[in-house]
Amino acid sequence: MGLKRLKASVYQANMELKESGLVLFTFGNVSGVDREGNLVVIKPSGVPYDELSPENMVCVSLETGKVIDSDLNPSSDTPTHLELYRAFKACGGIVHTHSEYAAACAQARIPIRCMGTTHADYFYGDIPVTRELKKAETEENYEKNTGLVIVEAFESLCPEEIPAVLVANHGPFVWGQDPRKAVYHAVIVEFLAKMEVHASQLNPQAPRPPEHLIDKHYFRKHGKDAYYGQKKK
Protein backbone atom coordinates (compact mmCIF):
# COMPACT_ATOMS: atom_id res chain seq x y z
CA MET A 1 0.00 0.00 0.00
CA GLY A 2 1.33 3.45 -0.92
CA LEU A 3 1.87 5.94 1.86
CA LYS A 4 -0.71 8.31 0.40
CA ARG A 5 -3.35 5.61 0.44
CA LEU A 6 -2.44 4.62 3.99
CA LYS A 7 -2.76 8.23 5.17
CA ALA A 8 -6.15 8.50 3.50
CA SER A 9 -7.27 5.30 5.14
CA VAL A 10 -6.01 6.32 8.60
CA TYR A 11 -7.63 9.75 8.20
CA GLN A 12 -10.93 8.17 7.20
CA ALA A 13 -10.84 5.74 10.12
CA ASN A 14 -10.16 8.60 12.55
CA MET A 15 -13.18 10.46 11.18
CA GLU A 16 -15.33 7.36 11.48
CA LEU A 17 -14.15 7.03 15.06
CA LYS A 18 -15.32 10.59 15.73
CA GLU A 19 -18.69 9.95 14.07
CA SER A 20 -19.14 6.74 16.02
CA GLY A 21 -19.62 8.75 19.21
CA LEU A 22 -16.86 6.81 20.98
CA VAL A 23 -14.64 9.82 21.59
CA LEU A 24 -14.93 13.09 23.49
CA PHE A 25 -12.92 16.09 22.27
CA THR A 26 -9.45 14.95 21.13
CA PHE A 27 -9.55 11.64 22.98
CA GLY A 28 -8.72 8.57 20.95
CA ASN A 29 -6.56 7.80 17.96
CA VAL A 30 -6.36 5.42 15.04
CA SER A 31 -3.26 4.18 13.24
CA GLY A 32 -2.49 1.95 10.28
CA VAL A 33 0.60 0.06 9.17
CA ASP A 34 2.39 -0.46 5.89
CA ARG A 35 4.18 -3.78 6.49
CA GLU A 36 6.26 -3.60 3.33
CA GLY A 37 7.41 -0.05 3.91
CA ASN A 38 7.82 -0.60 7.67
CA LEU A 39 5.79 2.55 8.28
CA VAL A 40 3.03 3.43 10.71
CA VAL A 41 0.65 6.35 10.13
CA ILE A 42 -1.18 7.81 13.13
CA LYS A 43 -3.26 10.80 14.24
CA PRO A 44 -1.25 13.82 15.43
CA SER A 45 -1.34 14.41 19.20
CA GLY A 46 -4.06 16.63 20.69
CA VAL A 47 -5.35 17.96 17.35
CA PRO A 48 -9.17 18.34 17.19
CA TYR A 49 -10.88 15.94 14.80
CA ASP A 50 -12.26 18.73 12.62
CA GLU A 51 -8.73 19.94 11.90
CA LEU A 52 -7.57 16.53 10.70
CA SER A 53 -6.80 15.88 7.02
CA PRO A 54 -5.11 13.01 5.20
CA GLU A 55 -2.08 15.31 4.91
CA ASN A 56 -1.57 15.94 8.60
CA MET A 57 -1.59 12.28 9.58
CA VAL A 58 1.88 11.58 10.97
CA CYS A 59 4.13 8.87 9.55
CA VAL A 60 6.69 7.14 11.78
CA SER A 61 9.11 4.29 11.30
CA LEU A 62 7.78 0.96 12.56
CA GLU A 63 11.31 0.02 13.60
CA THR A 64 12.58 3.18 15.30
CA GLY A 65 9.43 5.19 16.02
CA LYS A 66 11.06 8.26 14.45
CA VAL A 67 8.78 10.72 12.67
CA ILE A 68 9.41 10.49 8.91
CA ASP A 69 7.82 13.49 7.30
CA SER A 70 5.92 15.79 9.65
CA ASP A 71 6.28 18.84 11.88
CA LEU A 72 3.51 17.55 14.11
CA ASN A 73 3.97 15.22 17.05
CA PRO A 74 2.33 11.84 16.56
CA SER A 75 -0.18 10.70 19.17
CA SER A 76 1.55 10.28 22.52
CA ASP A 77 0.32 6.67 22.44
CA THR A 78 2.41 5.91 19.33
CA PRO A 79 4.93 3.67 21.14
CA THR A 80 2.02 1.50 22.33
CA HIS A 81 0.75 1.11 18.78
CA LEU A 82 4.26 0.22 17.58
CA GLU A 83 4.67 -2.60 20.09
CA LEU A 84 1.36 -4.07 18.99
CA TYR A 85 2.30 -3.94 15.31
CA ARG A 86 5.64 -5.59 16.11
CA ALA A 87 4.06 -8.44 18.10
CA PHE A 88 0.77 -8.95 16.27
CA LYS A 89 1.83 -9.59 12.70
CA ALA A 90 -1.67 -9.83 11.20
CA CYS A 91 -2.79 -6.53 12.67
CA GLY A 92 -3.24 -3.76 10.09
CA GLY A 93 -4.90 -1.02 12.10
CA ILE A 94 -5.22 -0.05 15.77
CA VAL A 95 -7.64 2.17 17.68
CA HIS A 96 -7.33 3.52 21.16
CA THR A 97 -10.34 5.10 22.88
CA HIS A 98 -11.60 6.00 26.32
CA SER A 99 -15.11 4.98 25.29
CA GLU A 100 -17.47 5.26 28.23
CA TYR A 101 -18.45 1.69 29.01
CA ALA A 102 -15.29 -0.08 27.89
CA ALA A 103 -13.17 2.38 29.90
CA ALA A 104 -15.46 1.77 32.88
CA CYS A 105 -14.73 -1.98 32.54
CA ALA A 106 -11.03 -1.14 32.48
CA GLN A 107 -11.49 0.91 35.65
CA ALA A 108 -13.47 -1.90 37.23
CA ARG A 109 -10.60 -4.22 36.21
CA ILE A 110 -12.91 -6.83 34.77
CA PRO A 111 -12.69 -8.50 31.40
CA ILE A 112 -15.57 -8.18 28.95
CA ARG A 113 -16.78 -11.74 29.21
CA CYS A 114 -18.00 -13.68 26.24
CA MET A 115 -21.61 -13.93 27.36
CA GLY A 116 -23.41 -14.25 24.07
CA THR A 117 -23.54 -14.44 20.34
CA THR A 118 -22.99 -10.71 19.72
CA HIS A 119 -19.60 -11.16 21.38
CA ALA A 120 -18.81 -14.50 19.73
CA ASP A 121 -19.61 -13.09 16.29
CA TYR A 122 -16.44 -10.99 16.59
CA PHE A 123 -14.32 -12.09 19.57
CA TYR A 124 -13.49 -15.72 20.25
CA GLY A 125 -13.32 -15.46 24.05
CA ASP A 126 -13.21 -12.88 26.83
CA ILE A 127 -11.59 -9.52 26.13
CA PRO A 128 -8.82 -9.51 28.72
CA VAL A 129 -7.58 -6.80 31.10
CA THR A 130 -3.84 -6.19 31.34
CA ARG A 131 -1.94 -6.33 34.61
CA GLU A 132 -1.01 -3.05 36.28
CA LEU A 133 2.23 -1.48 35.15
CA LYS A 134 5.01 -1.42 37.74
CA LYS A 135 6.42 1.87 38.95
CA ALA A 136 9.55 1.62 36.85
CA GLU A 137 7.53 0.63 33.80
CA THR A 138 5.37 3.72 34.20
CA GLU A 139 8.13 6.17 34.88
CA GLU A 140 10.33 5.21 31.92
CA ASN A 141 8.96 4.45 28.47
CA TYR A 142 5.41 4.37 29.75
CA GLU A 143 3.71 4.13 26.38
CA LYS A 144 6.09 1.44 25.10
CA ASN A 145 5.56 -0.56 28.30
CA THR A 146 1.81 -0.23 27.89
CA GLY A 147 2.28 -2.00 24.58
CA LEU A 148 4.40 -4.68 26.21
CA VAL A 149 1.84 -5.51 28.94
CA ILE A 150 -0.78 -5.82 26.24
CA VAL A 151 1.43 -8.28 24.38
CA GLU A 152 1.99 -10.10 27.69
CA ALA A 153 -1.79 -10.40 28.17
CA PHE A 154 -1.92 -12.27 24.85
CA GLU A 155 0.79 -14.79 25.73
CA SER A 156 -1.75 -17.59 25.60
CA LEU A 157 -4.36 -15.83 23.48
CA CYS A 158 -4.58 -15.26 19.75
CA PRO A 159 -4.71 -11.53 18.86
CA GLU A 160 -6.45 -12.30 15.58
CA GLU A 161 -9.26 -14.13 17.34
CA ILE A 162 -9.59 -11.56 20.15
CA PRO A 163 -8.67 -8.24 18.55
CA ALA A 164 -9.14 -6.09 21.68
CA VAL A 165 -7.81 -5.57 25.18
CA LEU A 166 -8.59 -3.38 28.17
CA VAL A 167 -5.57 -1.66 29.66
CA ALA A 168 -6.12 -1.63 33.43
CA ASN A 169 -7.43 1.73 34.69
CA HIS A 170 -7.07 3.18 31.25
CA GLY A 171 -9.22 1.99 28.35
CA PRO A 172 -9.49 -0.24 25.30
CA PHE A 173 -6.99 -0.84 22.51
CA VAL A 174 -8.69 -2.53 19.59
CA TRP A 175 -7.31 -3.76 16.28
CA GLY A 176 -8.20 -5.31 12.98
CA GLN A 177 -7.01 -6.13 9.47
CA ASP A 178 -7.04 -2.44 8.59
CA PRO A 179 -7.80 0.88 10.33
CA ARG A 180 -11.52 0.88 9.50
CA LYS A 181 -11.99 -2.69 10.70
CA ALA A 182 -10.30 -1.66 13.93
CA VAL A 183 -12.82 1.16 14.39
CA TYR A 184 -15.63 -1.26 13.59
CA HIS A 185 -14.35 -3.56 16.33
CA ALA A 186 -14.05 -0.65 18.78
CA VAL A 187 -17.75 0.10 18.28
CA ILE A 188 -18.57 -3.54 19.00
CA VAL A 189 -16.38 -3.53 22.11
CA GLU A 190 -18.28 -0.54 23.49
CA PHE A 191 -21.58 -2.25 22.72
CA LEU A 192 -20.47 -5.44 24.49
CA ALA A 193 -19.33 -3.42 27.50
CA LYS A 194 -22.78 -1.83 27.73
CA MET A 195 -24.41 -5.24 27.73
CA GLU A 196 -22.05 -6.40 30.49
CA VAL A 197 -23.13 -3.45 32.65
CA HIS A 198 -26.83 -4.13 32.08
CA ALA A 199 -26.62 -7.91 32.45
CA SER A 200 -24.55 -7.67 35.61
CA GLN A 201 -27.33 -5.48 37.03
CA LEU A 202 -30.02 -7.97 36.07
CA ASN A 203 -28.30 -11.20 37.03
CA PRO A 204 -24.66 -11.25 38.10
CA GLN A 205 -24.84 -15.06 38.47
CA ALA A 206 -25.99 -15.71 34.92
CA PRO A 207 -24.35 -18.85 33.51
CA ARG A 208 -21.84 -18.65 30.68
CA PRO A 209 -23.10 -19.70 27.27
CA PRO A 210 -22.04 -23.23 26.26
CA GLU A 211 -18.79 -23.45 24.28
CA HIS A 212 -20.54 -24.94 21.28
CA LEU A 213 -22.62 -21.77 20.90
CA ILE A 214 -19.51 -19.60 20.92
CA ASP A 215 -17.80 -21.87 18.40
CA LYS A 216 -20.86 -21.83 16.18
CA HIS A 217 -21.09 -18.05 16.03
CA TYR A 218 -17.39 -17.35 15.71
CA PHE A 219 -16.86 -19.90 12.96
CA ARG A 220 -20.11 -18.98 11.18
CA LYS A 221 -18.37 -15.69 10.39
CA HIS A 222 -14.65 -16.56 10.42
CA GLY A 223 -12.38 -19.13 8.80
CA LYS A 224 -12.85 -21.49 5.91
CA ASP A 225 -16.34 -22.73 6.82
CA ALA A 226 -17.88 -19.29 7.29
CA TYR A 227 -21.32 -18.99 5.75
CA TYR A 228 -22.49 -15.56 6.94
CA GLY A 229 -22.88 -12.75 4.40
CA GLN A 230 -22.52 -12.93 0.62
CA LYS A 231 -19.99 -14.99 -1.38
CA LYS A 232 -16.94 -12.94 -2.21
CA LYS A 233 -16.67 -12.47 -5.94
Cα separation, 94 vs 175, in Å, equals 4
Which residues, 6 or more positions from 134, have their beta carbon under 8 angstroms from its beta carbon? none
Q: Does 228 bind its own copies (CB under 8 A)?
A: yes
Q: Please say if 126 is a catalytic residue.
A: no
**Cβ contact 97:23 at 8 Å:** yes
x/- mask, its own copies, residues 104-143, rule CB under 8 A, reads xxxxxxx----xxxx-------------xx-x--xx--x-
Encoded one letter per residue, x for contact with its own copies by CB under 8 A and - for no contact, window 204-223 reads: --xx-xx-xx-xx---x---
Q: Which parts of 163-202 interact with its own copies (CB under 8 A)?
A: 168-171, 184, 187-188, 191, 194-202
Can you spell out the DSSP letters for 86-111? HH-TT--EEEE---HHHHHHHHHT--
Rg over alpha carbons for the chain, rounded to the nearest Å, is 17
Strand-pair partners of 66: none
Least distance in Å: CB of 212 to its own copies?
A: 4
Which residues contact its own copies by CB under 8 A?
Answer: 24-25, 27, 44-47, 72-73, 76, 98, 100-101, 103-110, 115-118, 132-133, 135, 138-139, 142, 168-171, 184, 187-188, 191, 194-203, 206-207, 209-210, 212-213, 215-216, 220, 227-231
